[in-house]
């Protein structure tokens, strides 16, 4: 990873409470895994920055090196790497994502989170 890519990634996760590195954008995801995580965040009303890794090969590889995580999407909350699609799905269904958002002071709709859990019960 180049220093420039590392600096851009660090700046993005420092300047935004919630960041999703994904394939596509939150309005137009370009893979199922990115779509699932963006869908959860969008439904829960979370304000987040989306970074389209397909638009920048340096960032696409750089984020994998930065987090030491091989896949995309990748979710960061308050500068901390949380995980990819499977982890975010599990955290949503268990209520752990709500707790993380509560602990970090991130605004979201608890009603929407409850609806996701009810629909997947």
What's the pTM value of the predicted model, to 2 decimals? 0.96
Per-residue pLDDT tens over the stretch 52-97: 999 999 999 999 999 999 999 999 999 999 999 999 999 999 999 9
Residues annotated in the binding site, as ranges? 31
Q: How far is CA 9 from CA 27, 73, 86, in A?
A: 21, 14, 22
Quick one: pLDDT at residue 23?
Answer: 98
- Which helix (H) or strand (E) segment is 116 a member of? helix 110-119
Strand partners, 49: 19
CATH of range 3-119; options 3.40.30.10, 3.40.50.720, 2.160.10.10, 3.30.470.10 = 3.40.30.10
Q: Annotated binding site for [2Fe-2S] cluster, which residues? A: 31
């Amino acid at each position: 990873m180049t220093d420039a890519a590392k600096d851009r990634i660090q700046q993005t996760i420092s300047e935004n409470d919630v960041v999703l590195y994904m394939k596509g954008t939150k309005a137009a995801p370009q893979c199922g895994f990115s779509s699932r995580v963006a869908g959860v965040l969008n439904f829960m009303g979370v304000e987040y920055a989306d970074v389209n890794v397909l638009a920048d090969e340096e960032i696409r590889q750089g984020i994998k090196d930065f987090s030491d995580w091989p896949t995309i999407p990748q979710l960061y909350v308050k500068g901390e790497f949380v995980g990819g699609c499977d982890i975010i799905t599990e955290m949503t269904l268990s209520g752990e994502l709500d707790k993380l958002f509560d602990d970090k002071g991130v605004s979201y709709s608890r009603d929407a989170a409850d609806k996701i859990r009810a629909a997947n019960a």
